[in-house]
Chains A and B, each alone.
Chain A
Amino acid sequence: GEDVEQSLFLSVREGDSSVINCTYTDSSSTYLYWYKQEPGAGLQLLTYIFSNMDMKQDQRLTVLLNKKDKHLSLRIADTQTGDSAIYFCAERGRQAGTALIFGKGTTLSVSS
């Protein structure tokens, strides 16, 4: 079945780059998304990438997609303390219909 996996924790220092990784299993995935969740809040869409692309850049965010290995990453440049949150990778695969399949989330901790 479909599955999305992420590492659970990442700790970086302010000003460094953060790289959050994600693997997925549904090769028919059309779009892949990154969401951010701050404590007590809902999910905020950060960016998404279409499956026929291998890179997308949006200000401090860079998404890399390796479709062959079913690997997705989110790079945050010049990480700030305000970036501390849980980051979720999600896929929209053909098998799930219109539902998104989410990973368990990566908790990013940024220290000053």
Chain B
Amino acid sequence: KAGVTQTPRYLIKTRGQQVTLSCSPISGHRSVSWYQQTPGQGLQFLFEYFSETQRNKGNFPGRFSGRQFSNSRSEMNVSTLELGDSALYLCASSSTPGTGSGELFFGEGSRLTVL
């Protein structure tokens, strides 16, 4: 069974640009969560999607947005990039939220550098 796939793995943008990151969950998983990892703040929750609906949202500005498609693939978008948005963006998938042990399975991440 293939794991969580994130693309692109690495990207460099300049301030003011926007970026879109993609995530394909494990086959059969319908929940996708996004986390931002930085050396200073650690792992912070961005948002979670289930059945194309945002179920939960972390404490990030409106420049950060996401969506989920009918095939469970998800994208996140960051507009008007700032230097502080440089981070590893991790996507995680899980089966049905609120059932079982609810463990998350992470992808390798997309490393964004903003210059």
Report which A residues bind B (CB closer than 8 A): 30-31, 33, 35, 41-45, 48, 50, 88, 92, 96-105
Number of interface residues of B (CB under 8 A): 25
Q: A42-B107, A43-B106 are in contact. Are A96 and B42 (CB under 8 A)?
A: no
Bound together, the chains give a CA A101 to CA B43 distance in angstroms of 8
Pick from B4, B55, B101: contact of A97, CB under 8 Å: B55
CB < 8 Å A-B pair total: 59
| Chain A residues, Cβ within 8 Å of B45 | 96, 99-101
Please give the distance in Å from B8's CB to the nearest CB on chain A.
Answer: 14
Query: Is the Cβ of A42 less than 8 Å from the Cβ of B108?
Result: yes
B48 near A: Cβ within 8 Å? yes
Nearest B residue to A105 via CB reads B42
Nearest A residue to B39 via CB reads A104
| Chain B residues, Cβ within 8 Å of A41 | 108-109
Nearest A residue to B50 via CB reads A98
Q: A43-B90, A45-B103, A50-B101 are in contact. Are A99 and B33 (CB under 8 A)?
A: yes
B64 near A: Cβ within 8 Å? no
Nearest A residue to B6 via CB reads A42
List 8 tightest A-B contacts by C-beta distance, closest first.
Answer: A102-B43, A99-B45, A42-B106, A43-B106, A42-B108, A104-B42, A97-B56, A98-B97
